[in-house]
Structure 1
Amino acid sequence: MTTDSAENMITLVEKQKNNQNRYNIYVNDQYVFSVHEDILVKHRLLKGEEINQTKMKKIIEDEETQIAYRHAIRMISRKPKSRYELKKKLIEKGYEESLIHSALDQLEKEKYIDDYSYAVTLANYRIKYQRKGLKWIEQELSQKGIEKMTIAKVTEEVDKESEYKAAYHLAQKRWERHDGDTIQKKSKISSFLMRRGFEYSLIRKVLQQIEEDESQEW
């Protein structure tokens, strides 16, 4: 086949029998590559169309990007992920970084991935259902590759009342469970809540409220 010649022509576009979304492309009566239906339409791959080496290279790159894109879609359909997490998974699967970036850019453009929305949802879930503090959440979001500015925005906007209630619930249960004097109880509970990512200022406020509630019962 001549490198970049007008003599190169698509002579057959054949739908695959075992995959109705994929098509085999023949140039000058020789099989050259297969593509997904989306790429077929995008590049107008029709019988009788001229094609050169430069265009074929671009088609193959787009096809590989689409494969990475669809792989990422399958992953986030099972469980939401940040852009960084998806990138890491796709690298592990052997995709080239340039293709990964193109696929992830497409996913962001289409709002399939949105690190801010992902971080907000995760933060609220951790607080409400797992009773974790903002420090824990900040660290987790950082490990998931969320940008510092996004983390700062999320922690600023998260429901502080829900965080307080989560800390209070945990502290109250342990207050009733632990023996010993007040100082010992406060020390143990403070350490526990700090390990769960609650700020000391919030912990102090919670323990003060528990002491007041206990004194009113008496």
Structure 2
Amino acid sequence: MNIYDRLLKFATLRPRSEKEILNWFKRKKIDSDLQKDLFNRLKHLNLVNDLEFTRWWIEQRNTFRPMGVRRLKVELALKGVDRTIIEKVLDEQIKPDEQKNYAKRLLSQKIDHHEKLDSLKVSKKAFEFLARRGFDFGLIKEVIDEFNLKE
């Protein structure tokens, strides 16, 4: 299997960011002239597009592993996506009420596991859990208050 075929396999398994493709080139120790050629081929095939990658990433996260906007921003930045693209797609796809629903859903799953703890411990664990998932503190407080938990 030649390098182009391996690159196509890598790039078509799921959408990729430009940085992921460039990191793949580094791991495979591909010289810079060939990198440019291969990268341009992928661009021509629309297999490298940070805007589409960002849309896909956020959709996947919201569907399978909901998290807050802060965490999404960090993940996408680590994938090498430009901040302006991240902000644009988040504004398109994430609404404040959706974030609240994601937080509620996650919290309702988490609370079931800690039913026997007193409410202060449950509240602390819930707050920490949602904070780790990247939700804003105001939203966390609002969701916890709706669950009638003390902070």
TM bucket, shorter chain: 0.7 to 0.9
Q: How far does residue 70 in structure 1 lie from its aligned partner after superposition?
A: 3.9
**Partner secondary structure for residue 211 of structure 1:** coil
Q: How far does residue 68 in structure 1 lie from its aligned partner after superposition?
A: 5.1
Cross-structure match for 1:86 = 21
CA distance in 2, matches of 1:169, 1:120: 22
Q: How far does residue 158 in structure 1 lie from its aligned partner after superposition?
A: 2.1
Q: Please give the per-residue CA displacement for 1:87-124, whole angstroms capped at 9, x wherever unaligned.
A: 11122112112321332233223312211111111112
Cross-structure match for 1:180 = 118
CA distance in 1, matches of 2:30, 2:65: 35
The correspondence of residues 26-175 of structure 1 with structure 2, limited to 5 A, is 69-160=4-95, 161-175=97-111
Percent of residue pairs bearing the same amino acid type: 22
Further displaced range: 97-106 or 121-130: 97-106
CA distance in 2, matches of 1:70, 1:205: 50
Cross-structure match for 2:132 = 195
CA distance in 1, matches of 2:112, 2:89: 33
Aligned residues: 145
Letter in 1 for 2:136: E
Cross-structure match for 1:39 = none
Further displaced range: 187-196 or 73-82: 73-82
Matched, 1:206 2:136: no
Q: Please give the per-residue CA displacement for 1:41-92, whole angstroms capped at 9, x wherever unaligned.
A: xxxxxxxxxxxxxxxxxxxxxxxxxx65443212122232211111111221
Q: In structure 1, list runs of 5 or more residues that go unmatched.
A: 1-66, 213-218
CA distance in 1, matches of 2:98, 2:7: 33
CA distance in 2, matches of 1:94, 1:174: 44
**Partner secondary structure for residue 111 of structure 1:** coil
The answer to which structure has the higher helix fraction is 2
CA distance in 2, matches of 1:101, 1:133: 36
RMSD: 2.2
Relative to the length of structure 1, the TM-score reads 0.59
The answer to which structure has the higher strand fraction is 1
CA contact (8 A) 2:17 2:49 kept: yes
CA distance in 2, matches of 1:151, 1:98: 30
CA distance in 1, matches of 2:63, 2:26: 33
Q: How far does residue 176 in structure 1 lie from its aligned partner after superposition?
A: 4.3
Letter in 1 for 2:118: G
- Structure of higher RCO (CA pairs closer than 8 Å, 6+ residues apart): 2
Pair member with larger Rg: 1
